[in-house]
Chains A and B, each alone.
Chain A
Amino acid sequence: MTILKLIIKEIAHRKIIFVLSMLAVVIAVAFYVLFFTAATAANRETTRLMRDIGFNIRIIPKQTDMGTFYLQGFSDETMPEDYVDVFATQKGIGYNHLVATLNGRTQYSGHNIIIRGLAPEICPPGKAKSPMVFAIEKGTVFIGHEVANLCDINKGSTIHIGNIDLTVAGILAESGSADDITMQCHLADAQAILNKPACINEIKAIDCLCFVPNDNPLSILREQLAELLPEGKVVQMQAIAKARSQQRRLVKNVFAMILPIVIIVCGLWIGILAMTNVRQRQEEIGLARALGYGSPTIMTLFFGRALITGLIGAVIGFAVGTFLALQFGPSIFTVTAKAIQPDYALLNISLIAAPAFAAVSSFIPVMIAVSQDPATTLRQQ
């Protein structure tokens, strides 16, 4: 009779212990799969939500009066438009999205408004990202809610401003911010309206700088940019950066705290059940010893059982964890709900890790089984 057949027959005989051991593996694997799937979803969700909130940093002209900047929300100074290309092509500073803008005050139909010109968004080479701002074609304009109301502007109409004509591509929803009195157009059109050719007064960047505790990345970035963009200076939107990194760390911390506890508890659980199994099989071990079976065979019997427990537990655990992630994930991570998918890489990892986990958890009981004195065992029975 083969060792495998012996293991299978023993499992079939002691179903309850096997099922309980497997349950421990299922729980450990399900938690692992659920957490990784959830963590990925949470990360994706955070990225999307934070991206929608705004930029990490703003690069503005060096001479900017910060009082005016904070009061009106943009700089009165300008810097060369090609700064954005210099930034985009440099090596050593990471970013995910870059947008060059030109903002300025002007009047339209007797009302004070803001003109905001947006250059096409730049992403790192080979890393196409979904745009953070809506793309604006040259010759078109998006009108803020308040301006549209005051000046009775409708979508599809044409407005004349600063000696150029722009077609209204859309009316923006009320935002309760300066955006309501803003006309957003292509950078080139804004430069024409504000008569500031080839100029910008802000580069907005996201994921250019991540908040790292006990470090001062802003100063590093400032040093690097001082060389690259001598007429620019960096302002970090720290609250956003902090919120962003804190949310990411929160997910990781929860994951890092709960998963080890689950794994330790499940490991102990398997170990105790393996010990019970060894105690139940003392007579069998003693007999096997008496009949000449060596320690490697005894170890194979118990580790083989643990490996089978781990393999079956891995498959069921993956299914359960994925089911839970798919079942409850979309209601938690509503923005990226559709992106929550089974991650089959986790199944591969589980198929290797779970049997190893079950075997490690059974190690002490197996060593006890191997070291049992058959003479003592057989006399005690």
Chain B
Amino acid sequence: MLAIENVIKTYHKRMGKINAIDGVSLDIAKGSFVVLNGPSGSGKTTLLMAIASMLHPSAGSVTIDGTDIYRLSAMQRARFRAANIGFIFQMFHLIPYLSIIENVLFAAGVTKTQNARSTAKEIIAQLSLTDRMHHRPSELSAGEKQRAAIARAMLNKPRLILADEPTGNLDPHNAEIVLGHLSDYNRQGGTVIVVTHGDQAKRYATRTIQMENGRVVADTAS
């Protein structure tokens, strides 16, 4: 489903070139729950952004379901991203002036998803947020915000969900709930890649990839 071939991402800093990703090659099968693990600065978030089609690699290619995403124009890539990839961030990134349902529906702005509102309500219900649907993000707890972000990520029924430290701001209980929802999505056939430097997500993983200094140092199937 996802093929990463010899991806390099180089940053030119004052002290010289730094390879944030240094020749990473991976094949990730459909329906995987992959945990990208590693210390800060190991390149896992950079790799996630490259997979997300938001960070053009200095070399190599990223192919999703046969589409080399960096051969697409910026506009085509944006549409591809909207239709195929869902995002979950550590800081939730909910729009503060929109209600929860409006935040979820924001994801349908590009894809023009059919019956978006009813689908959004269903997902919100699955994530136990129905009574918070018309609240603003500032009125929600951290766990509720992350569940809202998951709902937004799921609205367009993407093939791939990319989660960058989704439990980084949550207590263990809420972290379990969030990972549980991602696991449910995975069980329904979706592919999930979670970047984390903790161990909690590993219990749900079908594969754990360890990164250090921009390289894959371990790749373990669970």
Q: Which residues of B lie under 8 Å from residue A290 when comparing CB positions?
A: 52, 54, 81, 87, 93
Say what secondary structure dominates the interface of chain B. Answer: helix
Count residues on chain B whose CB falls below 8 Å from chain A CBs. Answer: 29
| Interface residue from A288, A293, A378 paired with B89 (Cβ < 8 Å) | A378
Q: Is the CB of A381 within 8 A of B91?
A: yes
Q: Which of A8-16, A121-129, A207-215, A232-240 makes up part of the contact surface?
A: A8-16
The answer to whether B97 touches A10, judged by C-beta atoms less than 8 angstroms apart, is yes
- Kindly state whether residue B163 has any CB partner on chain A within 8 Å: no
A1-B106, A293-B109 given as contacts; is B97 within 8 A of A9 (CB)?
Answer: yes
Does A88 count as interface, using CB distance less than 8 angstroms? no
Which residues of B sit under 8 angstroms from A286, Cβ to Cβ? 93
A374 within 8 A of B: yes
CA distance A293 to B45 in the complex (A): 21
Tell me whether B87 and A283 are in contact (CB under 8 A).
no
Q: Does A379 contact B (CB under 8 A)?
A: yes
- CB-nearest residue of chain B to A293: B110
- Indicate whether A291 sits within 8 Å of B54 (C-beta atoms), given known contacts A10-B97, A283-B93, A378-B89: no
Measured CB to CB, the nearest residue on chain A to B103 is A287
- State whether B93 touches A379 (Cβ < 8 A): no
Specify which of B91, B96, B110, B164 is in contact with A291 (CB 8 Å cutoff).
B110
**Min distance, Cβ A187 to any Cβ of chain B, angstroms:** 79
What's the nearest-Cβ distance from chain B to residue A57, in Å? 68
Q: Cα distance A161–B52 when bound, in Å? A: 108
Smallest Cβ distance from A288 to chain B, in angstroms? 8
Q: Mark B83-106, 1 if CB is under 8 A from A, else 0.
A: 100010101010111100010011
In the complex, B64 has a CB within 8 A of chain A: no
The verdict on A294 contacting B106 (CB below 8 Å), with A12-B97, A374-B54 known, is no
> CA of A13 to CA of B164 in the docked complex: distance in angstroms?
28
B80 cross-chain contacts in A, Cβ below 8 A:
292
Q: How far is the CA of A66 from the CA of B87 in the complex (A)?
A: 95
Is A289 in contact with B78, judged by CB distance below 8 angstroms? yes
B109, A289: Cβ atoms closer than 8 Å: no
**Complex CA–CA separation, A1 to B95 (angstroms):** 13
**Separation of A292 and B82 alpha carbons in the complex (Å):** 5
Interface size grouping (class) on chain A: 20 to 34
Kindly state whether residue A364 has any CB partner on chain B within 8 Å: no
The residue on B at minimum CB distance from A14 is B97
Q: Is the CB of A292 within 8 A of B98?
A: no
Chain B residues closer than 8 Å to A228, beta-carbon distance: none
Interface residue A77 (Cβ < 8 Å from any Cβ of B): no
B49 within 8 A of A: yes
Q: Bound complex: CA of A12 vs CA of B97, how far in Å? A: 8
A293 contacts across to B, CB distance below 8 A: 78, 82, 109-110
| Secondary structure class of chain A's binding surface, majority of residues | helix
Q: Is the CB of B49 within 8 A of A375?
A: yes
Which residue of B91, B97, B105, B110 is within 8 Å of A292 (Cβ)? B110
Contact across chains for B111 and A292 when beta carbons are under 8 A apart: yes
The residues of B that contact A379 with a CB separation of less than 8 Å are: 45, 49
Query: Chain B contacts of A12 at CB under 8 A?
Result: 97
Establish whether residues A294 and B98, one from each chain, have CB atoms under 8 Å apart when the complex forms: no
Taking CB atoms, residues of chain B closer than 8 Å to A76 are none
Decide if A231 is an interface residue (CB 8 Å cutoff): no
User: Which residue of chain B is the closest to A290 with respect to CB atoms?
Assistant: B87
Contact B87 A291 (CB under 8 A): yes
Q: Report the nearest A residue to B101, measured CB to CB.
A: A1
Are B109 and A1 in contact, with the CB atoms below 8 A?
yes
In the complex, what distance in Å separates the CA atom of A287 from the CA atom of B96? 12
Interface residues of A in 1-25 (CB under 8 A from B): 1, 6, 9-10, 12-14
A284 at the interface (CB under 8 A from B): yes
B93 and A9 contact, CB distance less than 8 A = no
Those of A330-376 within 8 Å (CB) of chain B: 373-375
B75, CB-defined interface residue at 8 Å = yes
Using Cβ atoms and an 8 Å threshold, which residues of chain A touch B164?
Answer: 378
Minimum C-beta distance from A9 to chain B (A): 5
Q: Give min CB distance, B169 to chain A, whole Å.
A: 12
Provide the bound-state CA to CA distance between A240 and B45, in Å: 80
B79 at interface by CB-CB < 8 Å:
yes
Is A9 within 8 A of B98, CB to CB?
yes
CB contacts (< 8 Å) of B81 on chain A: these are 290-292
Query: Is B125 an interface residue, CB under 8 A from the partner?
Result: no
Q: How distant is the Cα of A1 from the Cα of B82 in the complex, in angstroms?
A: 16
Q: A1-B106, A283-B91, A287-B93 are contacts. A292–B78 as well, Cβ < 8 Å?
A: yes
Question: Is B55 interfacial (CB-CB < 8 Å)?
Answer: yes
Min Cβ gap A308→B in Å is 15
CB pair A289–B110 under 8 Å, yes or no, is no
- The answer for the CA separation of A87 and B49 in the assembled complex, in Å, is 85
List the A side residues contacting B74 at CB < 8 Å: 294
Nearest neighbor of B82 in chain A, beta-carbon distance: A292
| Distance, CA A375 to CA B87, complexed state (A) | 12
B55/A294 in contact, CB under 8 A:
no
Check: B107 CB closer than 8 A to any chain A CB. Answer: yes
| Residue of A with least CB distance to B55 | A375
Contact with B along A241-270 (1 / 0, CB 8 A): 000000000000000000000000000000
Cβ A292 vs Cβ B79 within 8 A: yes
Listed from nearest, the 6 A-B pairs whose CB atoms lie closest are A292-B82, A13-B97, A292-B110, A375-B49, A375-B55, A375-B54
Write the residues of chain A forming the contact surface with B, with a CB cutoff of 8 angstroms: 1, 6, 9-10, 12-14, 283-284, 286-294, 297, 373-375, 378-379, 381
> Given known contacts A293-B109, A381-B93, what 5 new A-B pairs fall within 8 Å (CB)?
A9-B102, A283-B93, A289-B78, A292-B80, A373-B55
